[in-house]
A = this chain, B = another copy of it.
């Protein structure tokens, strides 16, 4: 899946702002893992823990942290090797140029606006009044609902569904199977059964958001559910109605945010974190994987557990719990011994 004739190491060193001590003319044609790499591949040494694996690798060159030397092939030493890896991957795997145009098998409503530089894949559906911006790619079998707006350079992978009226910004990436804009879960108790509250708001996905496969983001009851600029959601994430998520957040797989919650900027959520409704999380807060959040989380704090507590306390509790069964016995023993002591006759004197 690599492209082109490869890069000389000297040229790579320039482009990646790396130091190279030898063999600037050697050419590598792909990036590969330490174990998978062969003599024409560039491989990647994340940190000193991987130096032993690198010594056993057949790679033709390495990206490594500054100061890592003595590897069996020429080494591009980088201040930030992970960032250099990302840059190298972009060099070796440039985005394929979009082939503009609407596949003849796609179904595009007569009054939908599809920019001539956009592409609409086979068997995709674009409904009435939708607007598809420049260089957008709508994948095979995707469904863009009535009145949906998609900003320039966004990518919908196959099988994405966007319900009526939702708006996506620029450079948004939506992976396969994502559903944006389904009805929020709003019901009123009633003796005849839960009574549906119509969900007439929309979802707004701001610029540079990425949404993982099979995630679901519900439309607002009124107004907007918002995913803020630059936020990244992993797979199978659930965002309830009227949630507002700030900018640059990272949410790992299977997170679930309850309705009307407010998530600040730069918040990081581990996998499977779950929120009650109407919770507020301050900027820069972090929640460990699996946490359950029923109360507000202050900005900049790290919390963990169900229900979430400050991480240090949560860890202490977890460690102490191992002694809890024994503690019960020890307290029972203390009570018995104390009773014995108390039963001693008072001092005669």
Contacts and interface: CB of A to CB of B under 8 A. Distances in A.
Contacts of A192: 230
A25 interface: no
Interface in A277-310: 289-290, 292, 294, 305-307, 309
Copies of this chain, tallied across the complex: 3
A289 B276 contact: yes
A193 B316 CA distance: 33
A327 B328 contact: yes
B177 A161 contact: yes
A157 B182 contact: yes
A235 interface: yes
Contact of A31 (B92, B222, B236): B222
A134 interface: no
B157 A159 contact: no
Interface stretch (A7-15, A70-78, A212-220): A212-220
Interface in A313-349: 313, 316-325, 327-328, 330-331, 334-335, 337-338, 341-342, 344-349
Contacts of A105: 107
A32 interface: yes
Interface string A37-54: 000000010000000000
Given A250-B187, A342-B341, A346-B344, A223 B36 contact: yes
B256 A200 contact: no
Contact of A188 (B83, B185, B305, B334): B83
Contacts of A83: 188, 195
A33 B244 CA distance: 14
11 contacts: A89-B198, A89-B221, A161-B177, A177-B177, A185-B232, A193-B248, A271-B274, A337-B338, A341-B342, A344-B346, A345-B347
Interface of A: 1-2, 31-33, 35-36, 44, 80, 82-83, 85-86, 89-90, 92-93, 103, 105, 107, 121-123, 125, 127, 139-141, 143, 145, 147, 157-159, 161, 163-165, 173, 175-177, 179, 182-183, 185, 187-188, 192-198, 200-202, 208, 210, 212-216, 218, 220-224, 229-230, 232, 234-236, 238, 240, 247-248, 250, 252-254, 256, 258, 270-272, 274-276, 289-290, 292, 294, 305-307, 309, 313, 316-325, 327-328, 330-331, 334-335, 337-338, 341-342, 344-349
Nearest 9 CB-CB pairs, A to B? A193-B230, A89-B198, A179-B213, A182-B213, A161-B176, A216-B235, A213-B216, A33-B223, A290-B292
